Amino acid sequence: MTRLFRLLLLDLLLVVRGALWRLLLRLQGGRMGPGARLYGGARIVMGASGARIEIAPNFRMLRFAIINTLPPAGRVVIGKWVHLGEGSMVTASERVEIGDDVVIGPQTLIVDTDHGYHDPAQPIRIQGLVSRPILIEQGVWIAGHVTILKGVRIGRGAIVGAGAVVSRDIPPLAIAVGVPARVIRYRLGAPRGGDA
């Protein structure tokens, strides 16, 4: 078998898998545009009544990536040409929105929810969830092993370096690294500061 043939076969498999996931999502009231490629082990779970997942065309979801919705009505909205890296996870119990052309590296966690923990006399597992929506604007690059916490907005075209934990907003075109993530500089030509 030639290399080209093998590549075509692999792509055909990805197209078929993408089409099956499209159908599955539609049956559950979600939506995924055409041109999606989902690699082996990728999973999209609409785990709550009232949950909704909307994905624009040409989505790329690498091996073992997961999109998950939690009660009461988690909503995930993903723009076109978004890349979700290997083993990465997007989880919403309120709302996670990811703009067009966003690249998300491997093993990254985007979660809009904490466990409630304010009553020390009660187990955390029965204290409910605390959620605030996450917004990742168009053209952002989130590297590998990043964690994005509830309520955060990452401005258009920003970069989040490997291993960062993002607990506060990142302005547009900023490059942010570390735990917690701090802006180290802005992309070439970009003015300092931003409107995030």
Q: Active-site residues: which are they?
A: 115
Q: Pick from 16, 20, 184, 187: which binds ligand COA (CB under 6 A)? A: 184
CB atoms within 10 A of CB 150: 20
Residues 40-59 that bind ligand COA (CB under 6 A): none
Which residues in 50-70 are b (16+ Cβ under 10 Å) and which e?
Answer: ebbbebbebbbbbebbbbbbb
175 part of the interface to ligand COA, by CB under 6 A: yes
Q: Which is nearer to ligand COA, 56 or 142 (CB)?
A: 142
Smallest gap from Cβ 83 to ligand COA, in A, equals 8
**75-78 and 109-111: which strand pairing?**
unpaired
134 is written with which tokens? 């996450």
Cα(39)–Cα(50) distance, integer angstroms: 27
190 part of the interface to ligand COA, by CB under 6 A: no
Eight-state DSSP code of residue 191: P
162 part of the interface to ligand COA, by CB under 6 A: yes
73 part of the interface to ligand COA, by CB under 6 A: no
Please choose, out of 44-52, 62-70, 73-81, 156-164, the segment that lies near ligand COA by the rule CB under 6 A. 156-164
- Tell me the one-letter amino acid at 150: K
The answer to whether the CB of 191 falls within 8 A of the CB of 151 is no
Cα(35)–Cα(41) distance, integer angstroms: 18
Q: Which is nearer to ligand COA, 68 or 88 (CB)?
A: 88
Q: Pick from 35, 116, 151, 178: which binds ligand COA (CB under 6 A)? A: 178
Q: Which residues bind ligand COA (CB under 6 A)?
A: 85, 103, 105, 143-144, 159, 161-163, 175, 177-178, 184
